[in-house]
Amino acid sequence: MQLAPFGVERWLARYEFAVPYNIAESCARPLSLAELAELAGGGLAGDLRLGYVDAAGGPRLRAAIAGLYPGAVADDVVVTVGAIEANFLALAALCGPGDRVVVAVPAYQQLHEVARAQGADVALWPLRREDGWRPDLDALRPLLRRRTKVVVVNFPNNPTGATADLRALAALCAEHGAILHSDEVYRGLPAPGHVPQPSAWAAGGPAVAVVGSLSKAYGLPGLRVGWLLAPPALRARAQEIRDYTSICPPAPSEALAVAALGARDVILDRQRRHAAANRAMVEAALAATDGRLDWVAPEEGVVGCVRCACDLSARDFATRLAEERGTLVVPGDCFGLEGCCFRLGFGYERERLAAGLERLVALAAEVGGRARHGPAPGG
């Protein structure tokens, strides 16, 4: 398997811990262990044994995860080391040489690169800014050829924050005999006035695989707890491949994850209020730039795709922002996007966000002019 360099991760590795103002992160503000213990209300067990756990994940954690999805049971769940392992295992199990795989883009590179490295025939299904980054099923239909094996989507979307009608998408995939692989790690933090996007799992049927995690909405990326919900044959094959990677989840993370899911309503309410306040700060900053910076307002999650009216490439703009002003965003070329656009994350501390926005706006004023493009859809 020949995997190309991972654009987003290589960019973050270069600057993530080297600049003071990281406004690139895709997670809600991370909780400390003390905060999690307080919010869990004594739900942390103190007699944890640091041995191996069930390869699929412990029964308590799998049951708690299943409770997030209507109709799911613990046996539907495989606990993984982050959503990135869940995606890798599922796509490695599903995709082989000659298989037709359709992937909605922009997307996290893993979602198309693993299939490509397996020898699959990967067709990209572009989401368009003029459509508010929402998927156009009419544009998907011509891509669903007879040998289409899998359709891979990520909604709420990274890097745009767009959502989708996953029931309609699952139904279209079923009509063409394709499996829908739905990466849903950004569910749980809807924009004010929105409700959380329903999971594709609610569409039912034997041809839906769903990935989730505690990293994004819960603000617990350091636990490295993700999961895959899938039909039995796919779960079994994913487990066989997993024997070559992590073998099983880490016991301490499992215990903390059970506690977090037991307090999920309290945690998510806290994160939603924090994200809403930060989002308002971003919107005010963008509105004050006379069109030099704008976005299609994300519908869920804590990332959005910001566009800058300037002649710099996204990579040059982001490099200058990091090296001259100590502020990190992710250039759009990491997601295959053209023009000067970048992923901005607004889930972390307000003080860091405020300082980063100030520096972002200043650079945009220096290199850009009044907007040379139309208003954002819905903006």
Across 47-64, average pLDDT = 87
Alpha helices in the chain (DSSP H): 7-15, 33-40, 59-66, 82-94, 110-117, 137-140, 166-175, 232-242, 251-262, 264-287, 314-325, 350-367
DSSP code per residue over 25-92: --SPPPPPHHHHHHHHTS---S----S---TT--HHHHHHHHTTSTT--GGGEEEEEHHHHHHHHHHH
Give the burial class of 123: count Cβ atoms within 10 A of its Cβ; 0-12 exposed, 13-18 middle, 19 or more buried: middle
Identify the weakest region by mean pLDDT among 103-107, 305-309, 369-373: 369-373
Q: Which domains does the chain have, with CATH numbers?
A: 7-31+266-367 (3.90.1150.10), 43-263 (3.40.640.10)
Give pLDDT tens digits for 143-162: 997 789 999 999 999 999 99
Q: What's the rounded Cα separation, in Å, for the pair 281 and 364?
A: 17
pTM: 0.93
pLDDT per position as a tens digit, 86-124? 999 999 999 999 999 999 999 999 999 999 999 999 999
Q: What is the pLDDT of residue 375?
A: 53
List pLDDT tens digits, range 176-213: 999 999 999 999 999 999 999 999 998 876 799 999 99
Nearest to 354 by CA among 332, 316, 318, 327: 327
The pLDDT confidence band at residue 48, using thresholds 50, 70 and 90, is confident
Check pLDDT > 50 for residue 226: yes
Q: Which pLDDT score is estimated for 379?
A: 44
